[in-house]
Copies of this chain bind each other. A is one copy, B any other.
Amino acid sequence: MLDISELSHASGFPASKLRYYEEIGLIRSVGRRGLKRLYEDEVKARISLIALAQKGGFSLLEIKQMIGVEGRPTIDRSALLEKADELDVRVRELTNLSNGIRHIANCSAENHLDCPRFQRIMRVALAKTTGRRNK
């Protein structure tokens, strides 16, 4: 059991953010000591997971659906697997982007977009992208 300042300290999230997450139902407190919220230790893992998923480009709403209220997702298995696939596509793209950036850092071409090697890298990076729904 931790109060909000302990959780804040442990997670590196400001208390305002934790209150906000609780407000939108991403985390929950299990009671109060006085008027202070009390959190279970488990919440720490939950918060780490949320932070991670955010880096993956998921919105808080998507994350809520994926991890659910009690650690059980509120969306179905196939939707979850779809998210994982999405993530894998992104991972491949970002790997290529990383290579592209490294190339820009090292290449001496006037305009990197004109450099054939860079173009090849980007062609690869984007090849996997075709066919994606565009929001």
Enumerate chain A interface residues (CB-CB to B < 8 A).
12, 42, 45-46, 48-49, 52-53, 55-57, 66-67, 70-73, 77, 80-81, 83-84, 87-88, 90-91, 93-102, 104-106, 110-114, 119, 122, 125-126, 129, 134
Interface of A is mostly: helix
The answer to whether A113 touches B45 (Cβ under 8 A) is: yes
> A67-B112, A71-B110 given as contacts; is B119 within 8 A of A101 (CB)?
no
Per assembly, the copies of the chain total 2
> Residue among A46, A52, A129 with the most chain B CB within 10 A?
A52
Distance A83 CA – B48 CA, assembled complex (angstroms)? 22
Task: Specify which chain B residues have a CB less than 8 angstroms from the CB of A93 in the assembled complex.
Answer: 52, 55-56
Distance A126 CA – B48 CA, assembled complex (angstroms)? 7
Complex partner residue of A119 from B45, B95, B102, B110, CB under 8 angstroms: B45
Distance A56 CA – B125 CA, assembled complex (angstroms)? 12
